Amino acid sequence: MLSRLNLRHLYYFWLIAREGSMSRASELLELAPQTLSSQLAALEASLGQPLFRREKRSLLLTEYGRWVFQYAEQIFALTQELESSLEQYNHQGPLKLSIGISASIHKLIAYQLIEPIYQLERPLQLRCHTGQVDDLFRGLKKQEYDLLLTDSLPLSFNQSGLTAHHLLDSPISLFATASLVEELKDDFPASLQGRPLLANSMTTPYFASLMDWFQQQQVHPRVVAEIDDSALIKVFGSQGRGIFAAPQAIADEVCRQYQVTSLATIDEVHDSLFALTRTRQPRHLAIRALLEKQ
């Protein structure tokens, strides 16, 4: 098989499938679409089966194409990993690490997870980008990031070829200003009925679980704002705009930085965090340091 499998042609196929467009792939490769199309045809001929089917103006992977694409994903993830490792070992300059961070992750926890990389002897050149999980997920697959920190796994994760590493599991606590906590603490959780609640995001896994817990307690707080930035929601809470939730793991720091008070810890509701990587056992020194210290 290897004698008739052209890796350059496989790379072209992988890029076309990843981008979902022959024209977009040709732009990235700086090749004419006709040239790229002929290279794809050569690969299909060598494999003996079509990789795409054409519907109107769209290219859709065949079942065989999806099977080949899964292997191509792993091959080129390892290729990128090798290039990164060679750069690390051949040069004494700073390690480069690009991390995507879900906006719903509390930034205090994000820093705690990242902090072990600064214990390496090599200097580090770090780039962090926050955003929505689906966008970051696509970016990781396109090798825009080396690592993704997330509190949820996209629906397509099981077919992605990526690996999830469980990093942290913490019960959730509720916070508010001292005066509001004083009003609510004696009859908790019934005291939350109709009181203002700041939502991290209605789609954040632990917030959805928190709303289910309220339902079980037959308590209905009033969601007054939906804020998908974990730092901004604390600012709103510190100004008395409502109660907010955050992992118990950072309770002391939340109270200190934002001058709020912990109302209660809800052991039935947990926040789980994951690191997503393109390979099962990353060789990048900084990624290994992050994963091994959790």
Beta bridge partners of 96: 125
Question: Would the pLDDT of 265 be above 90?
Answer: yes
User: CB-side exposure of 239: number of CA atoms within 13 Å?
Assistant: 7
pLDDT band at 172 (very low <50, low <70, confident <90, very high): very high
Q: Which candidate, 128, 130, 119, places its Cα nearest to that of 146?
A: 128
pLDDT at 89: 59
Whole-number Å distance between alpha carbons of 90 and 266: 50
pLDDT per position as a tens digit, 187-243: 999 999 999 999 987 677 889 899 999 999 999 999 999 998 888 999 999 999 999
Against a cut of 0.75, is the pTM above it?
no
Question: Would the pLDDT of 88 be above 80?
Answer: no
pLDDT at 224: 96
Ordered structural domains, the chain, with CATH: 2-71 (1.10.10.10), 73-166+274-292 (3.40.190.10), 169-271 (3.40.190.10)
Whole-number Å distance between alpha carbons of 74 and 2: 16
pLDDT at 166: 94
pLDDT per position as a tens digit, 24-35: 888 888 888 888
Map tokens 């467009």 to a residue. Answer: 21
Whole-number Å distance between alpha carbons of 269 and 247: 9
pLDDT at 32: 86
Map tokens 């290219």 to a residue. Answer: 59
pLDDT band at 279 (very low <50, low <70, confident <90, very high): confident
Measured over the CA atoms of residue 198, residue 133, residue 257 and residue 251, the dihedral's sign is positive
Rounded to a whole number of angstroms, the CA Rg of the chain reads 24
Q: What is the DSSP letter of 119?
A: G
| C-alpha to C-alpha distances, 226 to 106, 195, 232, 250, 278, nearest whole angstrom | 15, 15, 11, 21, 32
List CB contacts of 29: < 8 A, sequence separation 6 or more.
Answer: 12, 15, 36
